[in-house]
Structures are given as structure tokens and as C-alpha cells.
């Protein structure tokens, strides 16, 4: 691996001004991705995962905007880049795979032409070479008889096939980084497993780095080596997947892991995290998780809680040692 991470997100902040107030969609998000590595970004719906992913490429929905922090890709700060610079990066250097392929694909354009578009427009390929590249990519992502499928429209393909087309489009600019925004959520479990194995295989074959957004810990365990956990717009824990699953240092992470159903352990009741996530237009003072936390103390409710570095890991909790001790007393059943 290179000494410099391919992606560094530092103290990223995203706000969305609305009539009811300003939504602090992402607040102090920090993580890094090494070359060739897959990082999972996990958390409940609405915690800021997708907003973080979109902020990296300047694709925030209006009127959302970045209000602070850095997004460094191969040393370039994308958070403060002009629109032309971001257009040069999108597709060619960073690819993105969206959750729902039917909304990501043009319904009146043949799928092969959609794959060939980036090589044709961005990489300077001629039409014949761009078509050959599209067919090659369709074969790479596991589409049978790609020359014939090239002529198909999106509605003529199955959901799994459409998602493979979206992956081929994301790879068509030969990117160094892939951003995956819950790309298997709309698929049944059999097709989901195929897509996850495909993404893992492509990462190994092509050496591309991956940021994989999901609310499913089992998916992250299957696809990623590193993990960043988000809650209420903040990254609250990072580390290797093995280390975090073995010994969670944040009470929210521990709650997530213990809420995963297991076939190996007999439980009378499923574990759950009490309460509900806060309104990001008026988040609680101090630790954003403290109203739901079993380890809460008085100083958790005042002042910002820093992201503490723990030698290869980080955690946004003042009492992470108590959480780790509790994790060791009642080990979490592996979800991998």
C-alpha cells in the first residue's frame, strides 16, 4: 500500500438549510481509505452516510452544501474544487454505484451505449473502440452474451443484470476509487450475494479502492477490511472490521452489533437500541448518542466530544474503555 491514503476525509461538514431550520447532515466526519482497500461506512438510515458519499463528488442535493472540512483525493482537495474540476474527477478517476439501477440508468438509451459513453467522451476513444470496451466490461461484470445484451434497454434486463450494468458504467472510466451507495439493497439475497462477490473480485483484479455504504453489518463484513461507523451525522468509530466486531469501543457500535439476529445463539428477545436518532436540525448537546446510551455520565452531555485516536483506531466516546470491557464480557456473535 502507498504511504499516502488515496482518500482522506477530514472534519467534513454538510448543512441543508430548510424552512424549519438548518439540518446538520454531516458533522465532523473523518476517515481515510488506503489504495486497494475497501472501507465500509455503516449506520442507521438518515445518519449521513449517503450525504458523505455525495459530498465527496460534489453531488449534494440542493440546497445542501459543504460548510467545512477537507476531502482529499490523491492529494487534491475536492471539498473546495470548482465545478469543472469535479466534472473531470467524476467517472474518470472516481466512479459511483447508486442504490437503484432503474433511476441510475437512462431508460431510453441502450445499456451498451451508456457504458461506452465515458470512454467515448472522457477517454477519447473512437466509437468502435468504445463499443469494444463496453462489451469487454459487460463480460468482466459477468453478463452472458455481452454483444447481444449491448443492444438491450434497461427495462429488458433483470434487477441483478441492471446493477451489473451500473457497475460496468462505474468502471468504464478506469477509476481508482469506487463509491458504492448501498448497491445491493433493492436486490434479493441470492443476487445480492452475487453482486457482493463480484465487487470483491473486481477490487482484487483491478486494484481499485472502495467506499461501501450500507446499514447491513453482514454486508460490510463480507466486503470490507476497514470500518467507519456513523451516527447522527458524525463518524463515531473507525478501525479494522475484525477489531471493531471483536471489541466495539462506542456504545452505539456495540448496540448495532448486538441487534444482529443470530442462528448460533438462543435468545428470548432480540437486542435493540432504545430511543430513536435525534433530529439533525437540533441535535443534543455533547455526545449525540447520550440520550440512548447506557454508559452516559454528566460530562457526556456538555461540549463537543472529540474523535480520540487509539493507535490504528479512533472513537468518539469518553468512556470507550467501559464499553470495550462490556464487549469483552459478552462477546458479539460474528456476523460474517
For residue 333, the domain's CATH number is 3.40.50.300
Q: State the pLDDT at residue 186.
A: 73
Same domain, 117 and 89: no
100 within some domain: no
Q: State the pLDDT at residue 1.
A: 44
Low-confidence residues in the chain, pLDDT < 70: 1-3, 262-269, 332-336
Using the 8-state DSSP alphabet, how is residue 135 labeled?
H
Give the span between the Cα atoms of 278 and 47, in whole angstroms: 9
Give the span between the Cα atoms of 127 and 252, in whole angstroms: 51
CA-wise closest residue to 300 among 314, 285, 310: 285
Whether the model clears a pTM of 0.85, i.e. scores above it, the answer is: yes
329 within some domain: yes
Q: State the pLDDT at residue 229.
A: 97
- When divided into structural domains, the chain yields a total of 2
101 within some domain: no
pLDDT tens per residue across span 279-294: 999 999 999 999 999 9
Same domain, 283 and 191: yes
Q: State the pLDDT at residue 311.
A: 87
Q: State the pLDDT at residue 264.
A: 62
Same domain, 288 and 273: yes
Same domain, 212 and 321: yes
Q: State the pLDDT at residue 329.
A: 84
Q: Decide if 57 contacts 90 (C-beta within 8 A).
A: yes
Residue ending a domain, among 121, 139, 174, is: 174
- Answer left, alpha or beta for residue 204, where phi above 0 means left and psi between -120 and 50 means alpha: alpha
- Its domain, for residue 19, covers 1-93+175-336
Same domain, 164 and 184: no
Residue ending a domain, among 122, 141, 174, is: 174
What distances in angstroms separate CA 282 from CA 21, 108, 288, one per listed residue? 8, 43, 10
Same domain, 249 and 160: no
The CA-based angle 214-218-224, given to 5 degrees, is 70
Q: State the pLDDT at residue 92.
A: 85
Amino acid at each position: 500500500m502507498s504511504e499516502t491514503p488515496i482518500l482522506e476525509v477530514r472534519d467534513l461538514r454538510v448543512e441543508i438549510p430548510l424552512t424549519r431550520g438548518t439540518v446538520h447532515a454531516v458533522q465532523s466526519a473523518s476517515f481515510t481509505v488506503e489504495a486497494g482497500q475497501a472501507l465500509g461506512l455503516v449506520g442507521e438510515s438518515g445518519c449521513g452516510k449517503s450525504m458523505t458519499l455525495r459530498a465527496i463528488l460534489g453531488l449534494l442535493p440542493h440546497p445542501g452544501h459543504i460548510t467545512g472540512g477537507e476531502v482529499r483525493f490523491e492529494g487534491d482537495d475536492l471539498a473546495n474544487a470548482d465545478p469543472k474540476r469535479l466534472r473531470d474527477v467524476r467517472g474518470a478517476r472516481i466512479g459511483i454505484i447508486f442504490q437503484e439501477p432503474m433511476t441510475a440508468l437512462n431508460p431510453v438509451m441502450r445499456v451498451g451505449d451508456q457504458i461506452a459513453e465515458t470512454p467515448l467522451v472522457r477517454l477519447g476513444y473512437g466509437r468502435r473502440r468504445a463499443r469494444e470496451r463496453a462489451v469487454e466490461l459487460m463480460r468482466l461484470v459477468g453478463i452472458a452474451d455481452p454483444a447481444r445484451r449491448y443492444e438491450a434497454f434497461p427495462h429488458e434486463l433483470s434487477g441483478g443484470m441492471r446493477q451489473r450494468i451500473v457497475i460496468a458504467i462505474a468502471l468504464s472510466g478506469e477509476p481508482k476509487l469506487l463509491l458504492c451507495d448501498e448497491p445491493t439493497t433493492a436486490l434479493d439475497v441470492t443476487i445480492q450475494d452475487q453482486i457482493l462477490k463480484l465487487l470483491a473480485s473486481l477490487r482484487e483484479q483491478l486494484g481499485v479502492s472502495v467506499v461501501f455504504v450500507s446499514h447491513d453489518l453482514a454486508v460490510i463484513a463480507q466486503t470490507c477490511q476497514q470500518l467507519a461507523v456513523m451516527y447522527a451525522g458524525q463518524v463515531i468509530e473507525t478501525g479494522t472490521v475484525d477489531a471493531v466486531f471483536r471489541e466495539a469501543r462506542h456504545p452505539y457500535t456495540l448496540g448495532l452489533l448486538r441487534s444482529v439476529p443470530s442462528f448460533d445463539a438462543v435468545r428470548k428477545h432480540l437486542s435493540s437500541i432504545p430511543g430513536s436518532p435525534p433530529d439533525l436540525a437540533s441535535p443534543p448537546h455533547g455526545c449525540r448518542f447520550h440520550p440512548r446510551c447506557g454508559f452516559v455520565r454528566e460530562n457526556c452531555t456538555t461540549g463537543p466530544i472529540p474523535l480520540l485516536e487509539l493507535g490504528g483506531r479512533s472513537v468518539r466516546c469518553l468512556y470507550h474503555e467501559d464499553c470495550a470491557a462490556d464487549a469483552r464480557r459478552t462477546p458479539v456473535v460474528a456476523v460474517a
